[in-house]
Structure 1
Amino acid sequence: MQIYRLLTEDDTSAFCHKVSEALAKGWVLHGSPTMSFDAARGVMRCGQAVVKDIDAPYSPDMKLGAQ
């Protein structure tokens, strides 16, 4: 089964580290990254979808980042 996550963060190196950590844990990029301006905070935000195949049934209670 395949699980999905959307990683988000301000446009800083923290976003790149978050995505790199997911890739190191076996997650795979899904689609293109996205950027949007958060007018309330005055910062750019980034997003990247990632997917991963797992051998467990899906449960809404599972911690996706721990997979």
Structure 2
Amino acid sequence: MTQHNSKPVVTLEALEEKIAELIDDPVFREEWLNTNVPILESKTPKSYFHTPSNRARLMQVLLEMKFGEMA
């Protein structure tokens, strides 16, 4: 089956891997996952795990964090 949109599907596993790569400490990582984040409409990162479009948005934010593109 081909995908018609240009964004690849972001899996939960890919998100978890990227988050672990960016936030090494498991306690801090869990705290961040459950903290309301302004760039995510003041929702928690963990709340973005449930739909493909939200996972794609969270991955975009993670990549911005990795490359220092966030203000």
State the TM bucket, normalised to the shorter chain. Answer: 0.3 to 0.5
Task: Provide the TM-score with structure 2 as the length reference.
Answer: 0.33
TM (norm. structure 1) is: 0.34
Normalized per residue, which structure has more helix?
2
Higher RCO (Cα < 8 Å, 6 or more apart): 1
Between structures 1 and 2, the one with greater strand share: 1
Q: Which of structures 1 and 2 has the bigger CA Rg?
A: 1
